[in-house]
Structure 1
Amino acid sequence: MLKDTISKLKQVMLEFDCPIPSRASVSEIEKFKEWAVEKFGEKVPWEKYIPFLEEVNSIEFNGIFLYGIDPNDSNLDIIENNEIWHDVEENKKYLFFCDGDISWYVWDSEIDEVQELDKPSGKVYEVYDNLNDMLIATLEMAVP
């Protein structure tokens, strides 16, 4: 399902003459895994993120920024963005995977939950069953 959703978004991006991001390399994926485990421990749901990275190493389209590892645009780098968001003490429990105009899409390491947060307030808007469901929902929002 994730691959199908990415494929559909790629087709739309082509129609709008937007560049299609390349996939993440094995070394980039390893870099992310090491960083995530160091920051959050072994329970990080990185294995659900790997299929996304194997298809595209970040996506910026229609107001959605799905992060990757060392993409050409630093605004899309998951490690850089997390370091920025973690400047606020309350945010250190989150692994930020994506942001949109008004929302962050995160994994809450304290309660092992994937959530959509309101950017200004940090209030939980939605809870997803898993990271894969959040990725699919976010990608589907990017398709006009």
Structure 2
Amino acid sequence: MRNTLWISRAHFGSKVMAAAVTVLAIGSVVSAAPAQAAPTKGSIAISRDGRGFAIATGYDSYEDAEQAAERKCGPDCEWKTTWGSQYKCGAAAMAPNRHWGWARGDSQEEAEQNAINEAGPGAWARVSGCETITRDPA
């Protein structure tokens, strides 16, 4: 009986040791992984009269992207769409009647098609852009 108990303890001890080694190995793999980069942000601004537009990409915050798009577009412009976290692309389209539509999407083609659908019949994409993960938050 005593040998059986000793074998059980030895067996239990080896399982504990194996579990500890596994935890240490996983911990070192997890801690060795590089920090995941944060997606940059983009924005499109359109003038109030619908004649001007601008795109800004590669910004760290939505606010910075919005302000940059408005600044590039001019004093009569305001931002209409932003992207970069949930969606990686944005687009603006204009219909023949000068009605604008803007949208986001997971790809440039999807964003453009969504914007065309918003603008109405005969619309075409005037501006579009996408963000990639380029900045490391660390």
TM range (shorter): under 0.3
TM-score, scaled relative to structure 1: 0.25
Q: Which has the higher strand share?
A: 2
| Structure (1 or 2) with the larger CA radius of gyration | 2
